[in-house]
């Protein structure tokens, strides 16, 4: 059987709906050989995922997805194989997590000012205990309360950029995000460039310190995947792929919809080992 991977997955520790155990179960049902957990601005789910994957016989790649900016453009940076248990790294991530919580609180206030009676407790009920809060939590809370019918409606009417309850994120530039990941031994990859509208800025993003890009993604077209792969081959940078599964948070379970050939996992690990060998 061909070995395949999904290197872009989320759990309830950020804005997904699956627990780590549910995600590992789905990975097994999808016959994936290797998975990465890349929750937004948190590593809280990584220890449990590592244990669950080991028990299930699935290779695990620890990861994180940081939100950064290039000018006014939001950029998501995936960090793989980072030393996530180091106190200094955890302290930095906690800072991002607090920024997310403050952002959601401000969104709830803006929604109330716009006449939408959403409460902070509604969002907390969706997110659960120790989640890194985000707009998907607000969208799900709006849907649960009957203010919207579909998840996309939350962004189009209320919390998308330029809408009444939009609040910008804590700003971290791409170079700083890449440097943070690299500082703690990780590999920095540009997430879903085709979704973020970054196709014309790939060289600049690599120059900012990124090590590669996510070529295959559930929302990339076949033509985009071909262009990104050709670009990566020309530049000699890493390529990855993943479904960006959020459980049922986006009305569709995506795990397994993108199946990355395991050869690219091997190249990721080889690059990681090479960078560690170059460290002082």
**CB atoms closer than 10 angstroms to residue 237:** 17
pLDDT per residue rounded down to tens, the chain (280 residues) = 689 999 999 999 998 999 999 999 999 999 999 999 999 999 999 999 999 999 999 999 999 999 998 887 889 999 999 999 999 999 999 888 888 889 999 999 999 999 999 999 999 888 876 777 889 889 989 999 999 998 899 999 999 989 999 998 777 899 999 999 999 999 999 999 999 889 999 999 999 999 999 999 999 999 999 999 999 999 999 999 999 999 987 768 899 999 999 999 999 999 999 999 877 6
Question: Which residue is listed with tokens 């910008």?
Answer: 168
- Output the pLDDT for position 70: 87
> CA–CA separation, 46 vs 85, rounded Å?
9
Q: What are the structural domain ranges in the chain?
A: 4-92+170-278, 103-159
- Output the pLDDT for position 131: 76
- Output the pLDDT for position 19: 95
Sheet holding 212-217, edge to edge: 238-242, 212-217, 187-190, 73-80, 59-70, 34-37, 4-9, 260-261
DSSP H stretches of helix in the chain = 20-29, 46-56, 87-113, 120-127, 135-144, 151-154, 174-183, 193-196, 202-207, 222-235, 262-278
- Output the pLDDT for position 64: 98
- Output the pLDDT for position 280: 65
- Output the pLDDT for position 169: 77
- Output the pLDDT for position 266: 98
- Residues 70/175, Cβ–Cβ less than 8 Å: no
- Residues 205/174, Cβ–Cβ less than 8 Å: yes
Q: Is 212 helix (H, G, I), strand (E, B) or coil?
A: strand
Characterize the bridge pairing of strands 34-37 and 212-217: unpaired
> CA–CA separation, 179 vs 169, rounded Å?
19
User: In CATH, what number does 4-92+170-278 get?
Assistant: 3.20.20.140
- Residues 53/20, Cβ–Cβ less than 8 Å: no
- Output the pLDDT for position 92: 92
């Amino acid at each position: 059987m061909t070995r395949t991977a999904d290197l872009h997955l989320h759990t309830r520790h950020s804005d997904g709906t699956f627990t780590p155990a549910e995600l590992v179960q789905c990975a097994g049902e999808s016959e994936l050989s290797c998975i990465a957990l890349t929750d937004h601005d948190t590593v809280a789910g990584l220890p449990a995922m590592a244990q669950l994957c080991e028990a299930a016989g699935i290779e695990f790649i620890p990861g994180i997805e940081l939100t950064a900016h290039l000018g006014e453009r939001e950029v998501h940076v995936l960090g793989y194989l980072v030393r996530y248990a180091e106190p200094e790294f955890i302290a930095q991530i906690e800072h991002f997590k607090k920024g997310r919580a403050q952002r959601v609180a401000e969104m709830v206030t803006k929604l109330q000012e716009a006449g939408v009676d959403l409460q902070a407790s509604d969002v907390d009920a969706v997110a659960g205990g120790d989640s890194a809060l985000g707009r998907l939590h607000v969208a799900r809370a709006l849907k649960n309360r009957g203010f919207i019918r579909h998840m996309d409606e939350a962004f189009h009417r209320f919390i998308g950029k330029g809408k009444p309850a939009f609040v910008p994120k804590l700003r971290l530039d791409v170079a700083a995000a890449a440097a943070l990941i690299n500082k703690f031994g990780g590999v920095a990859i540009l997430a879903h460039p085709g979704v973020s509208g970054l196709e014309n800025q790939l060289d600049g993003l690599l120059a900012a310190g990124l090590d590669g890009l996510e070529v295959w993604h559930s929302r990339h077209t076949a033509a985009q995947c071909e262009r990104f792969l050709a670009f990566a081959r020309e530049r000699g940078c890493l390529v990855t792929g993943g479904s960006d599964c959020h459980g049922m948070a986006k009305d569709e379970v995506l795990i397994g919809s993108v199946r990355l050939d395991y050869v690219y996992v091997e190249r990721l690990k080889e690059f990681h080992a090479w960078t560690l060998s170059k460290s002082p």
